[in-house]
Structure 1
């Protein structure tokens, strides 16, 4: 899909990553050329498999509408949504993020100050989402960019706006989260904010113990149903911090 133009406006240049549902491309806005502004953008398009689903347009638009509703330095900025009439491809145009994925940064390399800053920004981001009735549903170090002292959360593909039911698509067709950081109840329970609290609790737990949890350690936490008082305490305190005014 590289080197094509969507809607006679957005040039897709090269693929920079691939998720469970979408391919992410580096691109340019042709309109910027008229103003001698050659800034980069990110263009998100569905994979070939996902394009076969009847409600793919609604799925993509749901993510766009959630991002359009949000305005925070800790949330990726969205610029546009469209459907190319010739290629019949829905797409989302977002800001290009510089920096590193949190997943690419070794926990052992983070100072206590670094961990505190990330923790503080995560709390701030979760409070903002909670205030706006948004559940991300897939918070993990793979969906967090770190740039200097800034933290930016992205990939709202399976997010849910609890205050808006006007956009309809079959959510069961679009469940592809990072299982390591996802609540064990995310499949069977109705979407709720505890999903995000669980995910961030795992990240903070890893920060405190100084290493990433492996699959067996995660499963042990889940099997004990949070009888690990250390983890349970983190989750409890985090819940209070997020939900208080």
Structure 2
């Protein structure tokens, strides 16, 4: 998946993308021992870190910037992220600016799990898939209730972890789009992954809760589709490929058409035609109830 940055002409990009392992073995913020690089993409690199004098492990997302007032610029966004407190959103722990490296870092809970696409491909039943969809919707709803829009919902930004031997979904990267845009107000106008982004986001017409609904619809259709059709979708970039594939996959289930049609309506071009999150949640919950009653 590709995260896209739209950059204005005749401006200097203040962001330097860290694509090396240069911070491994260093102590950042005076207390976080960087142990390994565990992810990279777009504008950031994620490290596994251990807090000094403890056994606590964290995932630390880093962004390198020449903006000397980075922390002051981010105060409002950080305060907003601190208000996100939901079991299906990765927890925000701490943040800071390392002046020696000109590094903004965000400390998040470390999740020992796998991305949701890999988890689905491992072979799980439909009830579990739908239960995870409900968890994701609940997490996004919590954020929307606090006027926080994700801006980059996609399978790569959802992890599944085992808690008390039950799978739980965790939505990642709520802060990265907000923080990246804030740091680069004069250079970057949009941050998103084209395959899952709403038309208004791609066309730089502004984002809203409806934009997240679109990305959720695309993500759910993608996850319900077959591997071969996902690959074809990435090549052709036509959402109907996912729609048809998901429809065929669920063809043997009674009333599955309502579910797929609602997911499809979430990806309507016009924002006003997309369902609200509570409507999306209801159709998933209703279908899950039908499955439970029929003991499939």
Q: Same fold (TM over 0.5)?
A: yes
Match of 1:164 in 2: none
Conserved 8 A contact 1:11-1:28: yes
Query: Deviation at 1:170?
Result: 0.8
Alignment correspondent of 1:226: none
Q: Between Structure 1 and Structure 2, which shows a larger proportion of helix residues?
A: 2
Change (3 A) 1:69 1:102: same
Q: Which of the numbers 104, 110, 115 marks the counterpart of 2:129?
A: 115
Based on CA coordinates, which of the two structures has the bigger radius of gyration?
2
Counterpart of 1:219 in 2: which secondary structure?
coil
Q: How many residues align?
A: 225
Deviation at 1:179, TM superposition (A): 1.3
Q: How do 1:90-129 residues align onto structure 2 when only pairs under 5 Å count? A: 90-107=104-121, 109-129=123-143
The CA deviation string for residues 193-225 of structure 1, in whole angstroms up to 9 with x for no partner, is 111101110122234444553235533559xxx
Q: TM-score scaled by structure 1?
A: 0.78
Q: Hey, what does 2:44 align to over in structure 1?
A: 22
1:63-121 deviation line (CA, Å, top 9, x unaligned): 53332111001111111111123333221111111111113234472311121111111
> Unaligned stretches of 5+ in structure 1?
161-166, 223-228
Instruction: Please say if residues 122 and 151 of structure 1, whose CA atoms lie closer than 8 Å, have aligned partners that are also in contact.
Output: yes
- Would the alpha carbon gap of residues 119 and 18 (structure 1) be closer, same or farther in structure 2, given more than 3 Å must change? same
Alignment counterpart, residue 85 of structure 2, candidates 60, 63, 71: 71
Aligned residue in 2 for 1:43: 60
- After superposition, the Cα gap between the structure-2 partners of 1:144 and 1:186, relative to the gap in structure 1 and judged at 3 Å, is same
Q: Gaps (5+ residues) in structure 2?
A: 1-22, 242-259, 268-273, 283-296
Mapped to 2, the partners of 1:92 and 1:125 lie a distance apart of 20
What's the offset of the Cα at 1:173? Answer: 1.8
Q: TM-score, normalised by structure 2?
A: 0.65
Q: d(CA) in 1 for partners of 2:281 and 2:224? A: 22
1:53 Cα deviation (Å)?
A: 5.4
Is 2:194 aligned against 1:194?
no
Q: State the alpha-carbon separation in 2 of the partners of residues 91 and 208 from structure 1.
A: 35
